Amino acid sequence: MKSNKSLVKIILGITILILLALILFLGLKSSQKVKIAFYNVSEKSQNAIVSQLKKNVKTLQLDSSKSLSEQKALLRNCSLIVFSDNIEAKMLLEGNQKEKGLAKELDLSFLEGFPSSIQNSLLIRTNKKGKEYIKLLPILYDFYEIDVNRDFYQQSGMEAINTWEDLIETAYREKDFTKSAMLIPLSKDSDFLNSMGIISEALCGYQAYNQMLEDFSAIQYGQYGKTKDRKEEIQKALEKYSAKDQCLKITAKELEGLLRSGIVSKDSLQLSTQDILFLMDNDLCGIAFTSLSDHRKLSKDTSKHITSIYCPSKDFTPERSFASQSISISLLKDNKKSKEIIKKLSADNQNTLSTLSGLAPVQKNCAVADHQADDVRFWLAASKGPVMPFANVFSSDSERKLAADFLRDLISLEAK
């Protein structure tokens, strides 16, 4: 009997040792995985990215309703972060004059295969050793575009849409046989601000638009005036660019005229992006301001007779800067595995990544699934490069509301 009890104890002890060894093994294996944080990235894009990394990563989903700075502590155990580029995230990761920034340096070899226009749009710095580096690397681009219903366009009798005037003339002609000749998403603050920015660049030129972005971005980076109050500085910047002959004034006046004439449907003031996609799917809209990612949500039947174009400028010119949402990656821990993942996402697997996400690749020579993504890649490469959408130069919803309400009032004043 005693020998049986001893045997049971031995077996139990061996079992416990095996379990402990298994737990240790699994723990070590788990610790070898690279942890990636995702911030404000769509589920479709996130799934596309994770699918390329198989089982070699762990993911952390950050709260997109909170600022990245509020979740800074959660990044301590992460090696990488993938995020939708905005001024608040850029400031935290790249740093400013006072702070170094959370992201580690990436040498410029990671830009191999990128069009020069994209390379030139990035913040390239030089370290103490004289070596150039970046901290934010784009891996995909969404694009703010215009979708044109070809059936209605052919009925309009227009031969081409090369300039802003051509676009407005097309919509004017379509008023007689469409429910909504032109729709621009204006109900949501961020959509409204982005639409104002897109039209500002088209009417006033890329230099004026880029300067406006720089001025608003400088406020976020703490380069205040005498007040040292960010909202007061935003108010001053809005007043500056809403003065006579300034780009926001010109855009507000143009938009007010289009709304008053009915060329742009007044429904735009209440419609969400989803509402606009519904109208497009049911052939109730001739022209719509949208994005590449939203275009992907259209039904297959609708997509067959929709042509996507970039927003045309006042005068036909290749000197453009197109508002595009960048999905970027930053290195938080400097190790070999993390850098291998960055290379895989930014170079090796660009074709599959673009296909699965529906967005445009950053590599200039990789294969693409369709002409939609290829067109965006070409437009970005042939222009002065991508720029941040206007809504993204504000750090919070309250700041975006402040700016949107100010500009909505400006449009109302134009109507008097």
Chain segment 142-155, per-residue pLDDT in tens: 999 999 999 999 99
Q: Is the pLDDT of residue 17 over 90?
A: no
3-state SS string for 88-138? HHHHHHHCCCCCCCCCCCEEHHHHCCCCHHHHHHCCCEECCCCCEEECCEE
* Average pLDDT of the chain, as a whole number: 91
Confidence of residue 369 (pLDDT cuts 50, 70, 90): confident
Q: Higher confidence at residue 416 or residue 46?
A: 46
Task: Express each pLDDT in 198-235 by its tens digit.
Answer: 999 999 999 999 999 999 999 988 876 666 788 999 99
As beta bridge partners, residue 140 has 327, 361
Q: Is the pLDDT of residue 28 over 70?
A: no
Q: Is the pLDDT of residue 11 over 90?
A: no
- Block residue for tokens 């174009």: 309
Distances in whole angstroms, Cα of residue 104 to Cα of each of 68, 127, 195, 266: 17, 12, 34, 47
* Tokens matching residue 62: 């950050």
Q: Is the pLDDT of residue 98 over 90?
A: no
Instruction: Give the model's pLDDT for residue 172.
Output: 97
Q: Is the pLDDT of residue 89 over 90?
A: yes
**DSSP state letter for 344:** I
Neighbours of 6 (CB within 10 A): 10
- Of 2-16, 48-62, 99-113, 191-205, least confident by mean pLDDT is 2-16
78 contacts: CB under 8 Å, gap ≥ 6: 35, 36, 37, 60, 332, 333
Instruction: Give the model's pLDDT for residue 12.
Output: 66
* Tokens matching residue 330: 């930053």
Q: What's the mean pLDDT in 185-202?
A: 97
